[in-house]
Structures are given as structure tokens and as C-alpha cells.
Structure 1
Amino acid sequence: MKNLLILLALIFLASCSLVKSKSGEDAIQYKNIEKHIAELSSDKYMGRMPMSSTEQITVDYIAGQMKEIGLDPANKESYFQEVPLLAVSSTIANTLDFETPKGILKLDKMVDYVTFSRKMEAEQSLDQSELVFAGFGITAPEFGRDDFQGMDLTGKTILVFVNDPGYGTTDTYFKGNTMTYYGRWTYKFEEAARRGAKGCLIIHETGPAGYPWKVVANNGETTKLYLKPENGYNDRCAFEGWISKTAAEKLFASCGITFDEAKKQAVQKDFKPFALPVKVSGWMKSTFETNTSRNVCGLIRGSKQPDEVVVYTAHWDHLGVAATVNGDSIYNGATDNASAVSWMLEIARAFKSGPAPERSVLFLSVTSEESGLLGSGYYAEHPFFPMNKTVAVINTDVMLFMGKFKDVMLTGSGQSELDEWVRREAEKQERYIAPDPNPDNGMFFRSDQFPFVKQGVPAIYAKGYVDAEKFGKEETMKQVDRYWKETYHSPFDEYHPKTDDLSGIVEDAKLLYHVGANLANSTEWPKWNEGSEFKAIRENSRK
């Protein structure tokens, strides 16, 4: 009888635990996710541009929801972390002019070229700047790659391909079709500046870039945001920008080589840079405004290890009001990224409805992702919890309104042990893990987990993506492709309640709530896998 009573007591306790765990999941409701998406993507918010007239109502809405859910202010007594920003508004020349052996080649702004500059000088110009073809603009000793070979680039402009030499290859050079950080346009501008170049022009191609030219053009003369500098960005190039593939084809042809020949040279392991018989001229005029934007942050303090934290991130910003397309100039950002803010808020609600976590859990809705991960980057440099006390970061971005998915797509899969934490919960939903179908896009480096990753924190970037239940794989990928071509970063990224299906976001929120709860109630520290470029950073920080 005694043993029977003990057994019944254990069963009762286990059932209570399951009920509590389920109660957290049950708090994630379609109606709440829909409410947040509909609100934040409405025209009232004018595209949620940081430092615009609608930033205040945006961050107030998110902070208000955090307070209503029951989160504590994460930044002492505040739900906000101020992020000092520099806003740069530029006008560029109608044409960027190239003096070539076959005459003057004029590239039209927005159609053929886009340039910008963060240097805090009112006027910038290229005046007969020598043009150097520098392959992919990469210095990567671990791959035996130096696209500059000691060339003096002072006052010169470099022309480089987007992505890295592994793209489109069948071998293992770099990481094949999986983009490395060297393939990111942000890296190329940074490296050009380190090499002393005055300008850096990246050749756009839709496949290697991961988005069509119109995304570049729509962002042409819009206000750009950067973290406020102490040196006026005097260490950056005067001209950073893009030219279209069509423009590059004309430019190479004027020098007596084809686009394909130039690409073939650039992918060679022994590539050496060379000066083109071309000089480039153009100008920009800029105005500057310094101000602060805000990250929004709520906290659940851990019951046993409150100094250790699991972080959820989702950026709140979008592109504001920009180029008019079919009579609409408000870039509402429903999928990008009202969807993930809603996902994060409802995960927070689940935590407050379920058992208290043993580790702390931070919910961080960051500013200025669209301008280069500025809000998450600022937090990573000014964290509330040290990076070596941050167990993991769980992020998502651009959640599509296609209903439930059979898959859980992991961006950056294979990097860390966190893949297994996600797989276990995915199986409970009878879903399977899918790798990123477009690893060449470098999405792992393009969202708000990456500033944490650079400091060694293992990251999850996960969502349903490749296999929607109602469509199947083939049709799902057709719709995904259509989204990137027609909706992404356009005024058409809106919420349509009659046709959009948010049930997949509900499922993803439940799944990643459980992943985060498992981490928050564990004493484990997930590790980077062997071969990850971030493994050593983490190990050194945890010593």
C-alpha cells in the first residue's frame, strides 16, 4: 500500500507539471498574434521607421503589451534601452560617370546605381577616381585568400562581386553555396575602408545577393541609420554602393572583357586585383541628424540562477515611408517584422502563464535591424547580462502567413548543439528539421542573433518555411520565391485577415517557447560544434 501511495503521488506530481507546462503553451493564442500584427502593420504606424514621428507609438505599444503580460522592466526601472543613432539623408548625382576606353558610360541613379555614405561630411565626391577590380573584396587568411595583394588603394574605388567565391561551386572552397561572413556586403565595405579605398561598389546579382535589384533601388535615397560615432566615421569609405548586373556587364565590356570572364577570374584561388582602364566620377550631398532610438525590453527574473539568461529577440523597425510603388509609399512590414514581434510577445505570455523559469528570460525587441542590426549590436555591446552569462539567443524574422508548416527551418544549421534542442520539440509537433534552402543568402549574418553570435553566444534562428501543410513543398517554395520577388521590402508587405493564415506562427511560438523553457530550466550550456568559427570565442569567454 505504501508503495502504491508513493506511485500515485509521483503520477500526480508529474501530471501537475504537464498541466503547468501545457498552460504556458495554451496561453499562445491566434487572436493575440493577429491583434499585434494588425496593429503594428497598420498605416497608423507609417512603416515603423526609427526616429520617425511614429517610433514613440510603436515602442509604447510593445512596452505596454510587455507590462500587461506581466514582464518586469529589464533596464532597471525602464522597458527601454536608448540607442544613440546617426541619421544620414543623401541626394546622389543623377548619373555616376565612368570614363572608359570606349567613351563615357553614364549609370542612372536607382536604375543602374545607388551610393551612400556614413562619413559626416556634407559633400562627397569622386573626381576621376581610379577603378580597381578586387574580385570579391575579401581578406581571409584561413582560406588563403587576399583579393588586395598589398595594392595601394588610397583615393581609389574598388569594384567587387557580391557573396564569396564559394557561391555556385561544387567544391568546398570557402563553404560552397553556404555564404560565409566574407560574402556579406557589410563586410566588403568594412574591408574596403581598412584597405584605404575611397569608394567601394558591389556588383548586384539577385541569386548571390538574395534579393532583386528593386530592393536596392527602393532603399536608394532613403534616410540611412548608423550607430552614433565618436570619430564622424572618418575611417569609412566616402562612397559605398551598388551597381546593377546590367551596368557591370556594360562596364566590363567597355574594358574589353565579358562579365563572365571577370567572374571566372574572381573565383580563382590565386586571383590578383588589377586596375581597370576606367575613372569614375560622382557626388553626394548629405545632411545629418543625431538622435536616440529605443530597444524595448522586458524580463522574467530566474528563480534559481537569475544571473544567467536566455534571450528572445525580434526587431520592431521597418522602412517607414519610401519610394512609391503603385500609388503606395508606406512600407508596412507585416511579415517583416510585426510577425516576429507578435511571436515574441506571445512567448512571453506563455512564460508568465507557465511555471517560473530557473534562469532569467529576456525579451528584447530591437531597433534598426533594417539599417544593419544596430539595436541588437548596441545591446550586445551594452548588455544587461554579460555575454558569458547569456546561455543562448532565440530569434526569428520574416514569418510568412501561409498557415502551419511541416518543417522547422534552421538558419545556420550545423553551427551548434542548439539544433538538437529544436529537433526534440519539433518532433513533438510531428515536424521535421529542414536546413536553409538558400544558405547562399547568408541569412544567419543578416538578423539580430548575429551580434550575439559574434560574441560567442549560440543562437537559434528558426521558423516554418519550406513545407506548408496546405501547399506541399513545391508550391510552398514557389510562394516563398514570389514573396521575395514581389513583397519583401515593398509597400505590399501588409496583413490581409481574409486570406492570411497565422496558424504557423502560433505553432512556431509554442515550439520555441518550449525550447526556451527547456534552456531556462536547465544547467546546461549549449556548445558550438567543431568547425564553427565562433567556438573559440565562446570557450575563451567561459574560462
Structure 2
Amino acid sequence: MRAALLPLLLTAAPLAAQTAPAIDVETLKTVTRDLSSDAFEGRAPTTPAEEKTVAYIVDRFQKAGLKPGNNGKWTQDVPMVEITATNVQPLSFTGGKSPVTMAYRTDMVAGTYRVVPRIDVRNSDVVFVGYGITAPEKGWDDYAGVDVKGKTVVILINDADWQTMSREGPFEGRAMTWYGRWPYKFENAARHGAAAAIIVHQTEPAAYPWAVVQSSWTGPQLELDEKGDHMDQSQVVGWMQLAKAQELFASAGKDFAALSEAAKTKGFRAVPLGLKMSTGFGNAIKRQASKNVIGVLPGTTAPHEYVLYSAHWDHLGRCDAVDGDDICNGAEDNATGVAGLVALAEANTKVGPAKRTEVYLAVTAEESGLLGSRYYAEHPVYPLARTAGGVNMDVLNVHGLAHDFVLTGAGKSEIEDLVKPIVAAQGRRIGVEPTPERGSYYRSDHFSFARLGVPVLSGESGEDFVKGGPAAGKAASDAYNANRYHKPADEYDPNWDWSGAVSDLTIYYTLGRQLADDTTLWPNWYPTAEFRAVRDKARAGVTK
């Protein structure tokens, strides 16, 4: 950002919250109820349910007053390849005190990114690589001094300092960094040539139970269909249960707990376990396109500058049955977010166009690794260098008003400076992220834009509920994560209290409208943020 604009950014007065048009609660209820009904079968991408879902969103965007956002079309094709592992053999470990076998789904899950009809790994040496992190800027390399080409690496989830209750530590303490996320760990294992990469699941550092891994990692898996068929990735990627990891290490004559403790320390060196791993499975391959849905409200005086609102439309579709119900409806996650998109579009069209163009983006395949937002970011319809910023919505608050508003991954961008006075105008305060160890900042679609330089707000109601305080908020969060997240129980409830969602959406509206109407605003990343350099480089090439 040009230095001359900095004072304007930090002192710009927010639109008063009371000037925001009313958010239509009936829109929120109707869109959420419809999209999460059994008729939409859990909204899995590339299934027949996708066509129905996309048509529904297009209809709602059109009725809200938006225009087609992709050169006269409402959609952007996202090339996908669907890979379904078939006849998955157990992970078989030999060479220890006794053989260890891990059964598919119950003990482990395994798959591949490689687009090939068959995967076979035989007698691959097994190496424990701690947290599997290579971070030169921190002087940290769990792969130092070991060659894992063609070998199987066993990896711990999260960062080495996740048990630190403060934010202090080489990897921001309790807060998970990108290095702690499973996609990073698989990427890094592949860079080092590992034939197989298996993460040890533990509920607390993973931030979700085994049931979530089981439902997410079995059945058809989606990836972007790219040149090279992902042959640069490991042959096998997957997870194993903690108890099986402990059994495995014991067979190798190693103490899992002791080695896990040692892995927390800089200078840890990978430990060969003296075991061999074998597995194999077939792959059913299907290439097809999914779709992002794009609507726009064209700007008046700066139509070639953009403000982005995003939410993912997809969920898990058919999943592991619970009490005979095998549809993961995804009501909160994320039919509510799409409902928020529609409601914000309605609010903005009622007021009329802003100076900058507003882009409403309902993306596909978030649940498969942010694929739809990643594809848009890498193939933008509207240049990211001309995108001022925006808001991403992933699960709205349907439990009532909250005193606090929490910024996910706080401390990264100047968009936070814009939203804070808007929150204060509601009589609310900025709260502390209650579970930074979940790495939520890296798990939703705003991250796809952040990686390419665009600051997109990720913020929502905190746990300090007006009714019941922090205890009620924590209870609601815990109940959702334990009972409904990625499960068939995530269904629409007519008794939900939408007041918290309306309060948050009013913040999103006010922030977005301020960005869209004040063309002097160009929020950048803080100097210490990992995305600052790419933002500066992109903006350097932009001329008015």
C-alpha cells in the first residue's frame, strides 16, 4: 500500500452500524432450510446434487438483483478429478517385535493425490519425522540428516508448541500455524520424496475426533485436475489412530510418548523405526468440472476495483450413517454462509451500487481442501491486484447475540483496523480467539486469497453470549464440534436464534460497503505477515 494512503486507512470513519439496511431474517432461514434439506443430498460437488444447488444459488442471486459475474455467465468451471480408493489393503508393518496391521476406516484411512489406476507400496522403510516441519526462517528442519525418498514417514499433527497455553513459542504457541496443518505436512513429505505420509491422529491437537477424519477421508476424494496428474505427490497419504501408532512404536522397540516429547525441541532428528510398510489399493478416476457461482453488483465510479464476499456452497453429501441417516446436510456448515451471501446481496442492491464493484462468490469444494476458492484465486475473473479486500463467511451464529466478535488469526492485516470501530459501534468488543490451536485461519476459503495477497476478513461471534455468558457459548461450540460438525446431525433447526447472525452480517455489510464506497482504502498486511510481500508486488504493477 502506498504510504500516503496509510493515514486514510487508519482514520477512515466507519459507516454507522445503524445506517446499514436490515438483514432479512426470512432470507437467512429460507436459504439455509432449502439448501440443507435432504432434497439437496448434502451438496457434494460433481454429484447430481451440485446441479440443483448451483441452480438454486443462481436463482437467489438473480432475484437479489445481482448480475452474472463471469463474462455474462453465472458460473466458473472448476476442473476436478474425483479419485475413489477401492479395495484398500490394510497398512501392514513388519520387521518389529510383532507384525502390526491397521484396518481401513477403523484404524487408518489412506488415499492418494496421484491420478493413477493403482497404488502399490511394498516394504517401504518407516521413519518418524516428528512434526514434519521444514522452516528455514526458524532454523527448524525435522527432515535434516535423513533421506526419506521412497520411504514411509509418520508425522505428528499440529505444531511442536501446541501444548503451550500462551501465544509464545517458535510456532506461535497455542495458535496453530500453517506448518501445523495436514495439507502442509503432506506437501512437505512429498517435497522430500516420501512414498507414503501418515499422520497420527490425536483429537486435541487435530481439533476434531476420528469420526471427522473417517467421514472426510473415505469415499470419493476431489482434487483440482491439473497437468502432471499430481505425480509429484506421495503415493499414499493418510491418518492412523493414536492407539495404533503407540502399538506400532512399541513393536519397533520405541516409546511413542518419549519420541513425541523429543520432537517438540529444535534440533530433533528423524528416527528410523526399523520397520517396513506395505499397502495398496485401486483408484476409480472420474474427471469432470464443478462450479463456482459468481454474481456482481457493478460499481459506479471505480468499476474495475473490487470487493469480495465469499462462502462455500458444498458439503460432504452422503456420509457415514448415524441412526440410519447418511446425509451430511451441512446446515450450519455452510448453508448459513450461502444464506448470508444472498442476504448481503439483497441489502446492497436495495441501497444501490457502490463505487467499487462488489463480487459475490459461492465456491465449491471447500471441504475437499479449499479447491474452489483456490481455483478462483489462481484463475481470477476479477484481478486480485485490483481486489481491495472482502469478507468470507463459514458458519454463521445461529445461537443468539454475543458480546464479543472474534477475528480468526488476529494480527495479520489492516482490515482488522477497519472492522474494530464497526464492532465497537454495535456496543461489542473484539474477543480473543478461544481455540487458536485449531488453525481455523488456514481451514477456510479466505486463506486461498490470503496466500495470493488479498486480505479477506474472517471474523464471527465469539463465545461470550448475551444469554448465558462464556459458559453458554463454550457449551454451544463444544456441542456443535462433538455432535454436528461433519455429521448427519448438522440439520436445519426452526428454533434457531438468528439475532447473532444478523449482528455479524451487519458488520460484514458495513465493512464491505466502506471498502466499496471509499476508494482511498487499500488495506494491506502488517509488515510481519507472511502475505505482505505478494500484496506489495501485485500492487506495484497496477496503474490507475
With the length of structure 2 as denominator, give the TM-score of the two structures.
Answer: 0.94
Q: CA deviation at 1:166?
A: 2.2
Q: CA deviation at 1:18?
A: 8.8
2:21 — aligned with what?
25
Deviates more, 1:519-528 or 1:399-408: 399-408
1:466 is the counterpart of 2:463:
yes
Per the alignment, in what secondary structure is the counterpart of residue 542 of structure 1? helix
1:92 touches 1:221 (CA, 8 Å); kept in 2?
no
1:365 — aligned with what?
362
Letter in 2 for 1:500: W
1:403 touches 1:503 (CA, 8 Å); kept in 2?
yes
Alignment match of 1:517 (pick from 496, 509, 513): 513
1:264 is the counterpart of 2:234:
no
1:113 is the counterpart of 2:108:
yes
2:235 — aligned with what?
238
Q: CA deviation at 1:317?
A: 0.1
Alignment match of 1:143 (pick from 91, 116, 138): 138
Q: CA deviation at 1:460?
A: 0.5
Letter in 1 for 2:160: P
1:85 touches 1:290 (CA, 8 Å); kept in 2?
yes
Distance 1:401 1:463 in 2: 11
1:86 — aligned with what?
81
Distance 1:34 1:161 in 2: 41
Distance 1:134 1:197 in 2: 11
Alignment match of 2:392 (pick from 384, 391, 395): 395
Alignment match of 2:30 (pick from 25, 31, 35): 35
Per the alignment, in what secondary structure is the counterpart of residue 203 of structure 1? strand
Letter in 2 for 1:518: Q
Q: CA deviation at 1:356?
A: 2.4
1:254 is the counterpart of 2:247:
no
> For each residue in 1:143-173, what CA deviation from the matched residue of structure 2 results, as whole angstroms up to 9, or x when unmatched?
1011111522221110010111121135421
1:408-487 mapped onto 2 (5 Å cutoff):
408-487=405-484
Letter in 2 for 1:54: A
> For each residue in 1:343-367, what CA deviation from the matched residue of structure 2 results, as whole angstroms up to 9, or x when unmatched?
1111111111114211111000000
1:46 touches 1:320 (CA, 8 Å); kept in 2?
yes
2:65 — aligned with what?
70
1:346 — aligned with what?
343
Per the alignment, in what secondary structure is the counterpart of residue 243 of structure 1? strand
2:402 touches 2:465 (CA, 8 Å); kept in 1?
yes
1:46 — aligned with what?
41
Percentage identity across aligned positions?
Answer: 38
Per the alignment, in what secondary structure is the counterpart of residue 158 of structure 1? strand
Equivalent residue pairs, number: 524
Per the alignment, in what secondary structure is the counterpart of residue 155 of structure 2? strand
2:93 — aligned with what?
98
> For each residue in 1:420-449, what CA deviation from the matched residue of structure 2 results, as whole angstroms up to 9, or x when unmatched?
211111112111111321111111111001
Distance 1:249 1:44 in 2: 43
Rate the CA distance shift 1:536–1:218 in 2: closer, same or farther, 3 A. Answer: same
Q: CA deviation at 1:122?
A: 1.5
Letter in 1 for 2:79: P
With the length of structure 1 as denominator, give the TM-score of the two structures.
Answer: 0.94
1:172 is the counterpart of 2:166:
no
Letter in 2 for 1:502: W
1:207-226 mapped onto 2 (5 Å cutoff):
207-226=204-223
Rate the CA distance shift 1:264–1:386 in 2: closer, same or farther, 3 A. Answer: same
Alignment match of 1:229 (pick from 204, 226, 231): 226
> For each residue in 1:74-100, what CA deviation from the matched residue of structure 2 results, as whole angstroms up to 9, or x when unmatched?
101111011110011112535221114
> For each residue in 1:440-474, what CA deviation from the matched residue of structure 2 results, as whole angstroms up to 9, or x when unmatched?
11111110011110011112001113122222111
Cα RMSD of the aligned pairs, angstroms, is 1.6
> For each residue in 1:360-409, what CA deviation from the matched residue of structure 2 results, as whole angstroms up to 9, or x when unmatched?
11000000000011110000011122111111131021224211222111
1:128 is the counterpart of 2:126:
no
1:289 is the counterpart of 2:314:
no
Per the alignment, in what secondary structure is the counterpart of residue 311 of structure 1? strand
1:12 — aligned with what?
none
1:500 — aligned with what?
496
Q: CA deviation at 1:24?
A: 5.0
Q: CA deviation at 1:514?
A: 0.5
2:148 — aligned with what?
153
Distance 1:92 1:515 in 2: 50
Structure 1 unaligned blocks of 5 or more: 1-16
> For each residue in 1:110-169, what CA deviation from the matched residue of structure 2 results, as whole angstroms up to 9, or x when unmatched?
121000112122121221111011111111101101111152222111001011112113
Letter in 2 for 1:519: L
Letter in 2 for 1:255: A
Distance 1:18 1:524 in 2: 14
Letter in 2 for 1:88: I
1:209 touches 1:441 (CA, 8 Å); kept in 2?
yes
Rate the CA distance shift 1:94–1:299 in 2: closer, same or farther, 3 A. Answer: same
1:92 touches 1:109 (CA, 8 Å); kept in 2?
no
Structure 2 unaligned blocks of 5 or more: 1-13
Q: CA deviation at 1:23?
A: 6.9
Deviates more, 1:78-87 or 1:532-541: 532-541
Per the alignment, in what secondary structure is the counterpart of residue 232 of structure 1? coil
Deviates more, 1:84-93 or 1:69-78: 84-93
Letter in 1 for 2:27: N
Distance 1:104 1:338 in 2: 46
Deviates more, 1:325-334 or 1:519-528: 519-528
Letter in 1 for 2:40: Y
Distance 1:75 1:230 in 2: 24
